């Protein structure tokens, strides 16, 4: 069950962009076990098409990945929760190919790598997202 949301505020922080994608699926023979993956990108100072970089030096650029496996039968009990936060290392590129505020169009590509500074049990300490793409209309 995929879902995607985006917002763009040209008046906040020189133009603030946020993209959030969610994918929900069952990966087990037990029909009560579900996995939810979330990818989020947030960036400030976005006013036109171009290349924007994710790195720790620019706190306006954030990339996040979360995966949670849960048992729905037990009142949504979380079995595994892997996440990356603002203190973790991130690198990558967001390439905006179209940004038309009047028509509400946003398009581009992205890729990033997140490296967790303190590894979590049963979770990868590095996540690499490649070949990300979005074509969004906000109306």
Digit-coded pLDDT (tens) for 47-101:
899 998 887 565 566 777 787 887 777 766 676 777 777 778 888 898 999 988 7
CA dihedral 38, 98, 86, 36 (to 10 degrees): 0
Exposed/middle/buried for residue 105 (C-beta within 10 Å: 0-12, 13-18, 19+): middle
Q: Are strands 105-115 and 77-83 parallel, antiparallel or unpaired?
A: unpaired
Residue partners of 102: CB distance under 8 A and separation at least 6:
none
Domain residue spans of the chain: 2-137
Which residue, among 23, 94, 24, has the nearest Cα to 62 in the 3D structure? 94
The overall pTM is greater than 0.85: no
pLDDT value at residue 95: 93
For residues 20 and 24, what is the distance between their CA atoms, to the nearest angstrom?
13
Residue 123 contacts residue 80 (beta carbons within 8 Å): yes
Question: Could you tell me the pLDDT band of residue 1, with boundaries at 50, 70 and 90?
Answer: very low
Q: What is the DSSP string of 48-65?
A: SSEEEEE-TT-TT-EEEE
Which residue, among 123, 115, 139, has the nearest Cα to 37 in the 3D structure? 123
């Amino acid at each position: 069950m995929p879902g995607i949301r985006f917002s763009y505020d040209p008046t906040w922080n020189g133009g603030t962009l946020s993209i959030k994608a969610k994918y929900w699926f069952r990966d087990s023979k037990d029909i009560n076990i579900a996995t939810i993956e979330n990818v989020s990108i947030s960036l400030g100072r976005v006013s036109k098409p171009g290349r924007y970089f994710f790195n720790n030096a620019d706190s306006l650029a954030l990339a996040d990945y979360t995966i949670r496996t849960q048992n729905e039968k037990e009142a949504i009990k979380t079995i595994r929760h892997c996440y990356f936060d603002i203190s973790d290392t991130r690198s990558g590129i967001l390439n905006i190919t179209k940004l038309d505020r009047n028509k509400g169009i946003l398009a581009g590509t992205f890729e990033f790598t997140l490296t967790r500074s303190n590894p979590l049990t049963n979770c990868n300490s590095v996540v690499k997202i490649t070949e990300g793409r979005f074509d969004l209309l906000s109306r």
